[in-house]
């Protein structure tokens, strides 16, 4: 392993939270005022991975899986209970003020801009917070304005921006100090198709031209498909998968569903090697495994019995893959 | 410090976006302590004096404390409304910036509408000083300024302590108001009118005595001695601030290890 392999390295990271529990009811609520029962939730269990400089890594998993907690540990917000983490030679939570000069963080659901003032004012305050040198600030601002097409919106108060415009400003705001590592926590949440595309293209370009390492969490698989060469999947605090998206698809993606619309037919048609998921007199949904039965066979079999109007094939979506991964890991 | 001023200017700009609301709030803030002061005035009308303190002497004390309180509410508002920062998760944002958390929280909010309250206190201050010829000397007026600065620091310290509790409770605890609002109400009168233990508490635990009692005695010639001692003692507030900041740091560390 060369030095570059461990630009970011997490080893055996564990994090537990104490959560107060109480059952419903006024009586219980009153009791909870005095006596609290705590349950310990293991948010992260033995998480280890390393990331090379210049990678784009997609970090995925269902809600509450531990994505944000991992990001918080890596960005120095949280101190883990167990394990080691080093990023660019820093221990994030120990060297916080020194370390955070080199990272940018975008929380998709939370703004870092000042709501009532023009965007440019927020940028200038950030320049002072990060003590960015004048020349560097000017260059970065010019570059980001051009790449994210901000010219027209810089003088507008943040509260008047659309979500897409705001997100572009958020991303620009977190890059003014030329960080080498960028954390994006759900950067495309709630964006329309055009804005999503703009954000994705920018991230790609930033990575290619400036060599910025990007760690991205998302629920949108098209984000991952467009951006990340590598994905890390986490579920219930455990790292379930570390590899490329294609490999993952190969492993789990052979299952597909076929939706068929046909002229009225009074009874369901069963096809060998498939499962009938849904059936009405005009539509049927089949689940099939392309290793067991080919699409051609299915179509032939269907057209023997009904007059097919429309047919759609879809690959299994990521949620199903996750469910399958869970089953495999017996969580 | 430069950054603090930048924070100040961005908040001023924000506030100016809502001019009417700002003006109305300020006018409202002007009249709130006005009522309190009115009752003070009528009390003296009836009773003449309070354990040897004349109306203008108490008014001076009142003005100093209210001035200090409104200054700290204006500039340390970030700590006063800190619970929303924690509950909303925006405190995380402060942690990924390369500056001290205390400075950033301080800069997270200013309450300029307190200018109304400030103005009212200034009027009372000027009025009482102009009626107390014994304090028209440079060292005494300087001590008066120190008293105000010191009071501001003490209130800020209490705000910081109260904010620190939010790391454990998430919600702001009303108990803290006993010391902020309560402290203000107590300290607006000279401390020796109270029971001994009250005086002790507000001298040694929360050092309001360093503001509204000891230096006040000197300023009003109620105690003999050089001006050196009261000028030194007005720094008691700074001594109070240090443990507050240490406890704050402990709170931040707790937050980062529990994430609550």
Assembly ipTM: 0.84
Last residue of a domain, one of A250, A275, A307: A250
Asked, for residue A9, whether it belongs to a domain, the answer is: no
Lowest mean pLDDT among A70-84, A262-276, B54-68: A262-276
Nearest one of A55, A48, A99 to A76, comparing CA atoms: A99
The answer to whether residues A216 and A108 touch, using CB atoms and an 8 Å cutoff, is no
Q: Is residue A213 located within the same domain as residue A178?
A: yes
Closest residue in A to B256 (Cα–Cα): A78
Closest residue in B to A182 (Cα–Cα): B96
Determine the 3-state secondary structure of A238 from DSSP: strand
What number is the average pLDDT over the span A207-221?
A: 91
The answer to whether residues B4 and B107 touch, using CB atoms and an 8 Å cutoff, is yes
In chain A, % helix, strand, coil (3-state, to 5) comes to: 35, 30, 30
Q: Cα separation of A42 and A22, whole Å?
A: 18
Q: First-to-last CA distance in chain B?
A: 30
The CATH number of whichever domain residue A131 belongs to comes to: 3.40.50.300
Q: Cα separation of B236 and B150, whole Å?
A: 7
Q: Which residue of B17, B93, B95 is in closest CB contact with A112?
A: B93
Beta partners for residue B230, in sequence order: none
Q: Is A151 a residue whose pLDDT tops 90? A: yes
pTM of the entire predicted model: 0.82
Question: With contacts defined as CB-CB under 8 Å, which chain B residues touch A131?
Answer: 98
The answer to whether residues B76 and B107 touch, using CB atoms and an 8 Å cutoff, is no
Q: Is B42 a residue whose pLDDT tops 80? A: yes
pLDDT band for B136, please (50, 70, 90 cuts).
confident
Within 8 A by CB and 6+ apart from B91, the residues are B85, B101, B255
The angle formed by the CA atoms of residues B40, B45 and B46, to the nearest 5 degrees, is: 100
Question: With contacts defined as CB-CB under 8 Å, which chain B residues touch A129?
Answer: 3, 97-99, 104
Question: With contacts defined as CB-CB under 8 Å, which chain B residues touch A117?
Answer: 10, 13-14, 17
The answer to whether residues B244 and B160 touch, using CB atoms and an 8 Å cutoff, is yes
Q: Is residue A127 located within the same domain as residue A99?
A: yes
Q: Is A121 on the interface with B (CB under 8 A)?
A: yes
Q: Is A129 on the interface with B (CB under 8 A)?
A: yes
Q: Is residue A231 located within the same domain as residue A119?
A: yes
Q: Domain count for chain A, please give it.
A: 2
Determine the 3-state secondary structure of B50 from DSSP: strand
Chain A: nearest CA to B108, how far in angstroms? Answer: 10
Q: Is A16 on the interface with B (CB under 8 A)?
A: no
Q: For residue B103, count CB atoms less than 10 angstroms from its CB and return exposed for 0-12, middle for 13-18, buried for 19 or more.
A: middle
Give the domain range for residue A293: 254-315
Measured in degrees and rounded to the nearest 5, phi and psi for residue A234 equal -120, 145
The answer to whether residues A165 and A153 touch, using CB atoms and an 8 Å cutoff, is yes
Mark yes or no for CB contact A78/B256 under 8 Å.
Answer: yes
Q: Is residue A113 located within the same domain as residue A241?
A: yes
Q: Is residue A240 located within the same domain as residue A263?
A: no
State the residue for tokens 């919600």: B171
Q: Is residue A59 located within the same domain as residue A181?
A: yes
The CATH number of whichever domain residue A286 belongs to comes to: 3.30.70.250
What number is the average pLDDT over the span B249-254?
A: 91
Q: Is residue A198 located within the same domain as residue A305?
A: no
Q: Is residue A244 located within the same domain as residue A265?
A: no
pLDDT band for A230, please (50, 70, 90 cuts).
very high
Q: Is residue A267 located within the same domain as residue A209?
A: no
- In 10 A of CB A199, how many CB atoms? 24
Asked, for residue A173, whether it belongs to a domain, the answer is: yes
Interface of A with B in 18-57 (CB under 8 A): 18
Q: Domain count for chain B, please give it.
A: 1
Mean pLDDT highest for which of A155-164, B45-54, B211-220? A155-164
Mark yes or no for CB contact B259/A17 under 8 Å.
Answer: yes
What number is the average pLDDT over the span B182-197?
A: 84
Q: Is residue A182 located within the same domain as residue A244?
A: yes
pLDDT at residue A222, as a whole number: 83
Mark yes or no for CB contact B98/A100 under 8 Å.
Answer: yes
Q: Which residue of A112, A122, A128 is in closest CB contact with B3?
A: A128
Closest residue in B to A132 (Cα–Cα): B98
pLDDT at residue A126, as a whole number: 95
Q: Cα separation of B118 and B148, whole Å?
A: 12
Q: Cα separation of A217 and A188, whole Å?
A: 10
Measured in degrees and rounded to the nearest 5, phi and psi for residue A192 equal -80, 175
Last residue of a domain, one of A250, A270, A288: A250
pLDDT at residue B18, as a whole number: 85
Q: Is residue A187 located within the same domain as residue A262?
A: no
Question: With contacts defined as CB-CB under 8 Å, which chain A residues touch B3?
Answer: 128-129
Question: With contacts defined as CB-CB under 8 Å, which chain B residues touch A107?
Answer: 92-93
What proportion of chain A, given as a percentage, has pLDDT over 90?
48
Chain B: nearest CA to A43, how far in angstroms? Answer: 11
Q: Is A112 on the interface with B (CB under 8 A)?
A: yes
pLDDT at residue A1, as a whole number: 43
Give the domain range for residue B111: 2-258
pLDDT at residue A2, as a whole number: 46
Mean pLDDT highest for which of A101-105, B19-23, B87-91? A101-105
pLDDT band for B204, please (50, 70, 90 cuts).
confident
Last residue of a domain, one of A250, A275, A296: A250
Asked, for residue A32, whether it belongs to a domain, the answer is: no
Closest residue in B to A116 (Cα–Cα): B14
Interface of A with B in 258-287 (CB under 8 A): none
Q: Cα separation of B193 and B40, whole Å?
A: 15
The beta strand positions in chain A, using DSSP E, are: 8-21, 37-51, 56-60, 82-87, 103-107, 181-185, 213-217, 230-235, 238-244, 255-262, 274-279, 283-289, 308-315
Chain B: nearest CA to A303, how far in angstroms? Answer: 57
Q: Cα separation of A171 and A182, whole Å?
A: 9
Q: Cα separation of A234 and A64, whole Å?
A: 10
Average pLDDT over all residues of chain A: 86
What number is the average pLDDT over the span A208-227?
A: 89
Average pLDDT over all residues of chain B: 86
Residue scoring higher pLDDT (A281 or A78)? A78
Question: With contacts defined as CB-CB under 8 Å, which chain A residues touch B2?
Answer: 128
Q: Is residue A62 located within the same domain as residue A197?
A: yes
What number is the average pLDDT over the span B112-132?
A: 91
Asked, for residue A46, whether it belongs to a domain, the answer is: no
Q: Tell me the helices (H) and strands (E) count for chain A, helix number first.
A: 11, 13
Q: Is A253 a residue whose pLDDT tops 70? A: no
What number is the average pLDDT over the span B138-142?
A: 86
What proportion of chain A, given as a percentage, has pLDDT over 70?
90
């Amino acid at each position: 392993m060369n030095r570059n392999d461990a630009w970011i390295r997490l080893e055996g990271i564990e994090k537990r939270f104490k959560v107060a529990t109480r059952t419903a009811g006024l009586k219980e609520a009153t009791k909870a005022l005095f006596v609290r029962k705590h349950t310990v939730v293991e948010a992260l269990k033995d998480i280890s991975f390393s990331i090379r400089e210049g990678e784009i890594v997609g970090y995925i998993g269902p809600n509450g899986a531990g994505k944000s907690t991992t990001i918080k540990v890596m960005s120095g917000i949280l101190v883990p209970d167990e394990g080691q983490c080093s990023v660019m030679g820093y221990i994030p939570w120990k060297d916080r003020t020194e370390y955070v000069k080199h990272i940018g963080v975008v929380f998709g659901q939370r703004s870092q801009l000042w709501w009532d003032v023009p965007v440019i004012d927020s940028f200038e305050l950030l320049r002072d917070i990060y003590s960015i040198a004048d020349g560097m600030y000017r260059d970065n601002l010019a570059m980001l304005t051009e790449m994210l097409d901000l010219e027209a919106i810089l003088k507008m108060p943040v509260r008047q921006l659309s979500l897409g415009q705001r997100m572009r400003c958020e991303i620009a705001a977190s890059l003014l100090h030329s960080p080498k590592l960028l954390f994006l926590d759900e950067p495309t949440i709630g964006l329309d198709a055009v804005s999503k595309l703009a954000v994705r293209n920018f991230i790609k370009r930033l990575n290619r031209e400036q060599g910025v390492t990007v760690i991205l969490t998302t629920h949108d698989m098209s984000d991952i498909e467009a951006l990340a060469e590598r994905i890390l999947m986490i579920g219930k605090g455990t790292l379930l998968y570390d590899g490329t998206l294609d490999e993952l698809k190969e492993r789990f993606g052979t299952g597909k569903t076929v939706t068929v619309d046909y002229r009225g037919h009074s009874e369901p048609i069963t096809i060998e090697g498939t499962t009938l998921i849904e059936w009405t007199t005009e539509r049927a949904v089949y689940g099939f495994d392309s290793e067991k039965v080919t699409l051609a066979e299915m179509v032939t079999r269907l057209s023997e019995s009904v007059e097919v109007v429309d047919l759609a094939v879809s690959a299994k979506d990521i949620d199903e893959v996750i469910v399958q991964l869970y089953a495999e890991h017996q969580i | 410090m430069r950054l603090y001023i930048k924070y100040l200017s961005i908040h001023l700009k924000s506030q100016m976006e809502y001019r009417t609301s700002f003006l109305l709030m300020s006018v409202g803030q002007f009249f709130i302590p006005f009522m309190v002061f009115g009752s003070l005035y009528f009390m003296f009308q009836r009773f003449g004096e309070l354990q040897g303190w004349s109306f203008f002497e108490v008014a001076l004390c009142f003005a100093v404390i209210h001035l200090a309180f409104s200054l700290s509410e204006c500039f340390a508002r970030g700590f006063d409304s800190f619970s929303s920062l924690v509950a909303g998760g925006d405190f995380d944002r402060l942690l990924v910036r390369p500056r001290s958390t205390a400075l950033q929280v301080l800069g997270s909010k200013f309450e300029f509408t307190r200018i109304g309250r400030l103005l009212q206190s200034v009027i009372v201050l000027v009025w009482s000083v102009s009626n107390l010829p014994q304090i028209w000397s440079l060292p005494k007026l300087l001590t008066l300024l120190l008293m105000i600065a010191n009071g501001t620091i003490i209130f800020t310290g209490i705000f910081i302590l109260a904010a620190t509790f939010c790391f454990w409770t998430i919600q702001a605890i009303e108990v803290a108001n006993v010391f902020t609002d309560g402290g203000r109400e107590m300290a607006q009168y000279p401390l020796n009118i109270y029971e001994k233990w009250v005086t002790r508490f507000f001298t040694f635990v929360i050092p309001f005595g360093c503001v509204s009692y000891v230096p006040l005695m000197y300023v009003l010639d109620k105690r003999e001695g050089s001006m050196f001692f009261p000028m030194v003692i007005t720094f008691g507030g700074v001594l109070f601030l240090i443990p507050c900041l240490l406890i704050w740091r402990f709170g931040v560390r707790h937050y980062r290890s529990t994430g609550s």
